C-alpha cells in the first residue's frame, strides 16, 4: 500500500497534512531518513500493533517522528520540533487532545530510545525506529552509507568518533524492548553494530589512545600499594596520645606486602584474555566496596574528643587509606571500560605500555603517600584543637596600687603569665587562656589535646610582641605516641585581643620574637621568618649559633655567638632576610671563656618608642662579670656598654638564674642573681636601673631572695615592671603571708595585701609569677590568679 493511501486511511480528513509530510520526507538532504525509512517504520508498527495500547497514536507518531530533520541540529532538537509540529497540526485537524499529547510524547522518545518497562506504545515505536539495525548485512550497509551522506559536512574522523559514540550508547543497553522484537532482532542487530564499530575503529583510534587505559591501570596499581602503606601507618599508630612506650606497636610490614600482591594480581588479570576480564570486574568491586566499608567503619568508630587524651594519626590514616582503595576501585573499573571501547582498544607497543603503567603507578603512589602527612596533620589539628575567640574589648579601670585586690580566682596548674593588649595570658599545660585584667574573667582560650607540658616551658612559652597585640605560644608535642613524622605546630601565633589564630608554625627552633606579620625563629645557625599575616618566609644564615633576638625599627636584631670570643649583633632586613649592619661585641668585652654561647649571651630587648636595643653579656673578667650593652638599630652602632655595678654575677653554677631586662622609654631595669653563699641562706638579687640612652645608673638595690624562690626562672618570671619604671615581685613575709614588693628609687617597699575575710584564699610564694597589664599588677602562684586594684 502506498504511503498516501496509508495516511488517508489513518486520518481521512487530513489529506493536505499528509501531502505536507510526504513532501518533507522527500527533501533532497535526506538519504536515510526518507520515505523508505518511513515506510519501514510503519510496516514494523503494523507488525507489532497488537503489543501497543493505542495503535493509532503510535502510527501517527511514526508519521511525524522524523517530519523535521536537519543533520546540523543539536542532539534532540529534531525530535522536539517534530513533536511540536505534530501537536500543532493534529490539534488543528480535530484529533483528541489526549491522543495529541501522547503522540508528542512518543516522538520525543525517539531522541534516545529509553523506554520505561510499562510503556507499551513507546516500546513499539522505538523498536520500529531501530528495526534497521537488525536488517541483513546489505540493507544495514546501505543504511550506514546513507547516514554518512546526510553528515557529509562532517570530516571523516569527527564523524567516525560521533558515530562510534552513538553506536556504543545504543549497545550499552538492550536494543529492543518488546519481547517479540528482542527475541528475533537483538542478536543480528548487535552483530551489525560490532561490525560497523570495527570498521570505524581505524578512523577513530590513534596509537596513543591505547595508552589511556594503561594510565588508569598504572594509577590503580599505585593507589593499591599506597593505600596498603597508609593502612599500615594507621595500624602502627597508637589509638590515643599520650601512650606508654610499652603499648606502642611496630609497623606491620605485611600490609604493604599484601597491597603489592594485590596489585600484582590486578596486573596479571589485566594481561590475561577471557576470564581475566571478568576477574577485573571482581577486583574493582572488591577495592571499591572494601574502601567504602573502610571509610564508613572509620567514621563510625572515630573517637569523640576527650579531656586528657588526643586523637592520634590512626583514624586519619585509616580514612585516607580507605579513600585511596575506593579510588583504586574506580580507576580499575574505568580502565577496563575504556579497554573495551573501540576508540581505546589499540594495543600500544609493549615497551610504551609497561613504561606508562610503571610511571603512572609511581606518580599516583607517591602523590597518595605524600598527601598522607598533610591530610593527617590537618585532621589532627582540627580534632585536637579547641579555640575560642572574643568579640568584646578588654575592660579598663583606674589603678590605685593601694594594696586592695581587684579580683582573684583559682586556676588550674599555670605556667608563666604575660601582660598583653588583650589582658593577662596564662600558659596552661595544654595551651593559653586570656583573662580580662580588670575582672579576671576568661576572654578566650586556645588549647590542644596533644599537648601536655606547655606550662613547664616558662618564659619561653609565651612571647608577646612589643605592642602587646600578638602572642606566640610554645606548645611542644610528642612522646612515644607521636609517630610517622607528623609535624604538628609547635607555635600558635594568636591575636592577643580576639584570640583569633593568626598562624600555626612547626619548627624545631626557638622563637625569638613575634609581631602581627612574622614569627622570628632561631634554627641553629639560621634565622627564620615565618609569615603570619603575610606569606613571606625567609631564612638567613649566620656564622654562629643564634641565641637572642627582637624586632624593632623595621629590623630583626639578633645576636649570634660562637664558643670563644665571637659575639656579633646583627640588623636583618625583614623583607628579604639580608643583613643590614653588624656590631662586633668581641672588641668590647673579654669573651675568651670557653662557655656555651647559649649560657653567656643574655636577653636582649627593644627600648619602647626608640630605636635602641639593649642586651646582657657574661664575661670571664674578675671571675665572672655581667655586662650591659645598647646599640642604635637605626644606625647600627654601639651607643654604650658597661659592667653591672656590684660583685661578679656568674651565669653558671649553683643557684644561677636567667637574668631579665625590662624597659620603659626612660628606664632600663636589670634583674640578676648572685651565687648563694651557703645552701639554705638567702640569695642576693641585683635589681638595677639605668638610662637607656647612655647607661647612666639611676638606682641599684640588693634584694635577698629566700631559698624557696631560688629557681633559675625566678628572675624572668617573678618580676615585672610598672609603667613608672619600678619593679614588682612577690616575697614571703615573716608572718608566713605573701606580699607584693616594689623596688625603685624609694628602695625596697613591701605592700601587704589588704584582704577581706572570706573573699580570698591563701596566695603562696612557692612559684610566684608577676605580670603587668595596663599598669595593673597580676600575680600567680600556679593555683591562684590575683590582681591589685
How would residue 169 be classed by pLDDT, with cut points 50, 70 and 90? confident
For residue 521, the model assigns a pLDDT of 93
> What is residue 737's DSSP assignment?
-
Phi, psi of 712 (to 5 degrees): -55, -30
**Arithmetic mean of pLDDT over the chain:** 85
Give the H or E element holding residue 730. Answer: strand 727-732
Using the predicted structure, report yes or no on whether residue 107 has a pLDDT greater than 90. Answer: yes
Using the predicted structure, report yes or no on whether residue 81 has a pLDDT greater than 90. Answer: yes
Q: Write out the DSSP string of 424-489.
A: EEEEETTEEEEE-TTT--EEEEEEETTB--GGGGGGGGEEE-TTSSEEEEE--B-STT--TT----
* Percent of the chain at pLDDT exceeding 70: 90
For residue 346, the model assigns a pLDDT of 66
* Average pLDDT estimate for 213-241: 87
Using the predicted structure, report yes or no on whether residue 296 has a pLDDT greater than 90. Answer: yes
- Measured CA to CA, the distance from residue 733 to residue 753 in angstroms comes to 11
Q: Which residues does 715 contact at the CB level (< 8 Å), separation at least 6?
A: 657, 658, 659, 660, 671, 672, 673, 685
Question: pTM score, two decimals?
Answer: 0.68
The answer to whether the beta carbons of residues 566 and 585 sit under 8 Å apart is no
Residue 249, all three cell numbers:
606497636
* Average pLDDT estimate for 392-398: 80
Using the predicted structure, report yes or no on whether residue 763 has a pLDDT greater than 90. Answer: no
For residue 58, the model assigns a pLDDT of 92
Residues 683-721: pLDDT tens digits? Answer: 889 999 999 999 999 999 999 988 888 888 888 888 999
How far lies 53's CA from each of 7, 50, 57, 174, in Å?
20, 8, 9, 22
Highest mean pLDDT among 146-155, 197-206, 302-311, 333-342: 146-155
Using the predicted structure, report yes or no on whether residue 452 has a pLDDT greater than 90. Answer: no
* Average pLDDT estimate for 98-103: 92
Strand, helix or coil for residue 416: coil
- Measured CA to CA, the distance from residue 768 to residue 705 in angstroms comes to 12
For residue 757, the model assigns a pLDDT of 45
> What is residue 644's DSSP assignment?
P
> What is residue 652's DSSP assignment?
S
Give the H or E element holding residue 617. Answer: strand 612-619
The answer to whether the beta carbons of residues 64 and 82 sit under 8 Å apart is yes
For residue 681, the model assigns a pLDDT of 82
For residue 204, the model assigns a pLDDT of 54
For residue 758, the model assigns a pLDDT of 47
Residues 576-612: pLDDT tens digits? Answer: 889 999 998 877 777 755 556 666 788 899 999 999 9
How far lies 698's CA from each of 695, 726, 727, 746, in Å?
9, 11, 13, 11
Residue 454, all three cell numbers:
606547655
Count of all residues that appear for the chain in the document = 789
The answer to whether the beta carbons of residues 738 and 731 sit under 8 Å apart is yes
Residues 379-390: pLDDT tens digits? Answer: 878 878 888 999
- Measured CA to CA, the distance from residue 303 to residue 325 in angstroms comes to 22
Q: Which residues does 233 contact at the CB level (< 8 Å), separation at least 6?
A: 251, 313, 317, 321, 372, 484
Using the predicted structure, report yes or no on whether residue 437 has a pLDDT greater than 80. Answer: yes
For residue 614, how many other CB atoms are within 10 A of its CB?
25
How would residue 290 be classed by pLDDT, with cut points 50, 70 and 90? very high
Residues 499-511: pLDDT tens digits? Answer: 999 998 888 889 9
* Average pLDDT estimate for 230-250: 74
Q: Which residues does 656 contact at the CB level (< 8 Å), separation at least 6?
A: 650, 673, 675, 712
3-state secondary structure 234-259: HHHCCCEECCCHHHCCCCCCHHHHHH
How would residue 440 be classed by pLDDT, with cut points 50, 70 and 90? confident
User: 284 versus 352: which is more confidently predicted?
Assistant: 284
* Percent of the chain at pLDDT exceeding 90: 38
- Measured CA to CA, the distance from residue 323 to residue 78 in angstroms comes to 44
User: 685 versus 535: which is more confidently predicted?
Assistant: 685
Amino acid at each position: 500500500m502506498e504511503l498516501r493511501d496509508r495516511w488517508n486511511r489513518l486520518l481521512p480528513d487530513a489529506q493536505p497534512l499528509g501531502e505536507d509530510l510526504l513532501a518533507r520526507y522527500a527533501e533532497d538532504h535526506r538519504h536515510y531518513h526518507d520515505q523508505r525509512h518511513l515506510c519501514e517504520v510503519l510496516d514494523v508498527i503494523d507488525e507489532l500493533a497488537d503489543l501497543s495500547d493505542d495503535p493509532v497514536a503510535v502510527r501517527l507518531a511514526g508519521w511525524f517522528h522524523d517530519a523535521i530533520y536537519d543533520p546540523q541540529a543539536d542532539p534532540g532538537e529534531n525530535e522536539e520540533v517534530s513533536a511540536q509540529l505534530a501537536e500543532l497540526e493534529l490539534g488543528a485537524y480535530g484529533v483528541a487532545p489526549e491522543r495529541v499529547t501522547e503522540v508528542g510524547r512518543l516522538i520525543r522518545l525517539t531522541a534516545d530510545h529509553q523506554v520505561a518497562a510499562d510503556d507499551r506504545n513507546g516500546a513499539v515505536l522505538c523498536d520500529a525506529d531501530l528495526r534497521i539495525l537488525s536488517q541483513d548485512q546489505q540493507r544495514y550497509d546501505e543504511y550506514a552509507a546513507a547516514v554518512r551522506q546526510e553528515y557529509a559536512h562532517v570530516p571523516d574522523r569527527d564523524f567516525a568518533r560521533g558515530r562510534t559514540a552513538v553506536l556504543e550508547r545504543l549497545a550499552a543497553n538492550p536494543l529492543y524492548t518488546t519481547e517479540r522484537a528482542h527475541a528475533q532482532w537483538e542478536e543480528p542487530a548487535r552483530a551489525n553494530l560490532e561490525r560497523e564499530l570495527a570498521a570505524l575503529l581505524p578512523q577513530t583510534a590513534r596509537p596513543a589512545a591505547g595508552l589511556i587505559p594503561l594510565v588508569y591501570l598504572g594509577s590503580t596499581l599505585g593507589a593499591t600499594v599506597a593505600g596498603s602503606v597508609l593502612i599500615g601507618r594507621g595500624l602502627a599508630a597508637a589509638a590515643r596520645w599520650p601512650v606508654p612506650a610499652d603499648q606502642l606497636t611496630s609497623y606491620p610490614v605485611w600490609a604493604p606486602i599484601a597491597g603489592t600482591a594485590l596489585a600484582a594480581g590486578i596486573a596479571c588479570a589485566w594481561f590475561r584474555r577471557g576470564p581475566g576480564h571478568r576477574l577485573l570486574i571482581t577486583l574493582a568491586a572488591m577495592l571499591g566496596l572494601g574502601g567504602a566499608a573502610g571509610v564508613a567503619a572509620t567514621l563510625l568508630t572515630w573517637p569523640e574528643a576527650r579531656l586528657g587524651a588526643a586523637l592520634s594519626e590512626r583514624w586519619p590514616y585509616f580514612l585516607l587509606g580507605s579513600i585511596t582503595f575506593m579510588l583504586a576501585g574506580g580507576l580499575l573499573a574505568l580502565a577496563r571500560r575504556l579497554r573495551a571501547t573501540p576508540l581505546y582498544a589499540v594495543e600500544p607497543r609493549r615497551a610504551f605500555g609497561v613504561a606508562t603503567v610503571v610511571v603512572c603507578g609511581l606518580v599516583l603512589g607517591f602523590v597518595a603517600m605524600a598527601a598522607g602527612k598533610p591530610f593527617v596533620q590537618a585532621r589532627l589539628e582540627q580534632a585536637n584543637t579547641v579555640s575560642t575567640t572574643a568579640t568584646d574589648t578588654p575592660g579598663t579601670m583606674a589603678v590605685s596600687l593601694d594594696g586592695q585586690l581587684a579580683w582573684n580566682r583559682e586556676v588550674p596548674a599555670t605556667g608563666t603569665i604575660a601582660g598583653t593588649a588583650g589582658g593577662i595570658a596564662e600558659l596552661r599545660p595544654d595551651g593559653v587562656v586570656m583573662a580580662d585584667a580588670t575582672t579576671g574573667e576568661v576572654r578566650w582560650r586556645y588549647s590542644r589535646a596533644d599537648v601536655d607540658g606547655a606550662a613547664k616551658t616558662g618564659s619561653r612559652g609565651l612571647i608577646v610582641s612589643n605592642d602587646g597585640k600578638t602572642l606566640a605560644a610554645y606548645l611542644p608535642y610528642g612522646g612515644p605516641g607521636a609517630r610517622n613524622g607528623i609535624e604538628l605546630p609547635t607555635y600558635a601565633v594568636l591575636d592577643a585581643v580576639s584570640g583569633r589564630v593568626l598562624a600555626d608554625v612547626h619548627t624545631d627552633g626557638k622563637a625569638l620574637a613575634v609581631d602581627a606579620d612574622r614569627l622570628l625563629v632561631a634554627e641553629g645557625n639560621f634565622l627564620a621568618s615565618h609569615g603570619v599575616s603575610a606569606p613571606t618566609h625567609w631564612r638567613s644564615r649566620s656564622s654562629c649559633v643564634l641565641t637572642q633576638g627582637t624586632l624593632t625599627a623595621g629590623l630583626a636584631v639578633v645576636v649570634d655567638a660562637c664558643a670563644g670570643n665571637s659575639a656579633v649583633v646583627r640588623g636583618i632586613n625583614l623583607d628579604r632576610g639580608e643583613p643590614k649592619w653588624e656590631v662586633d661585641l668581641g672588641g668590647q668585652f673579654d669573651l675568651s671563656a670557653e662557655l656555651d654561647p647559649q649560657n653567656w649571651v643574655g636577653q636582649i630587648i627593644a627600648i619602647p618608642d626608640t630605636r635602641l636595643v639593649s642586651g646582657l653579656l657574661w664575661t670571664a673578667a674578675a671571675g665572672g662579670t655581667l655586662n650591659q650593652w645598647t646599640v642604635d638599630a637605626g644606625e647600627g652602632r654601639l651607643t654604650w656598654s658597661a659592667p653591672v655595678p656590684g660583685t661578679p654575677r656568674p651565669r653558671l653554677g649553683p643557684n644561677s638564674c636567667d637574668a631579665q631586662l625590662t624597659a620603659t622609654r626612660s628606664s632600663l631595669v636589670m634583674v640578676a642573681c648572685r651565687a648563694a653563699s651557703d645552701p639554705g641562706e638567702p640569695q642576693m638579687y641585683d635589681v638595677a636601673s639605668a638610662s637607656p640612652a647612655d647607661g647612666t645608673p639611676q638606682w641599684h638595690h640588693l634584694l635577698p631572695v629566700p631559698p624557696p624562690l631560688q629557681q633559675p626562672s625566678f628572675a624572668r618570671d617573678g618580676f615585672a615592671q610598672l609603667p613608672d619604671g619600678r619593679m614588682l615581685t612577690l616575697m614571703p613575709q615573716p608572718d608566713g603571708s605573701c606580699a607584693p614588693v616594689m623596688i625603685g628609687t624609694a628602695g625596697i617597699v613591701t605592700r601587704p595585701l589588704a584582704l577581706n575575710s572570706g573573699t580570698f584564699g591563701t596566695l603562696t610564694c612557692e612559684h610566684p609569677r608577676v605580670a603587668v597589664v595596663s599598669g595593673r599588677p597580676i600575680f600567680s602562684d600556679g593555683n591562684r590568679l590575683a590582681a591589685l586594684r
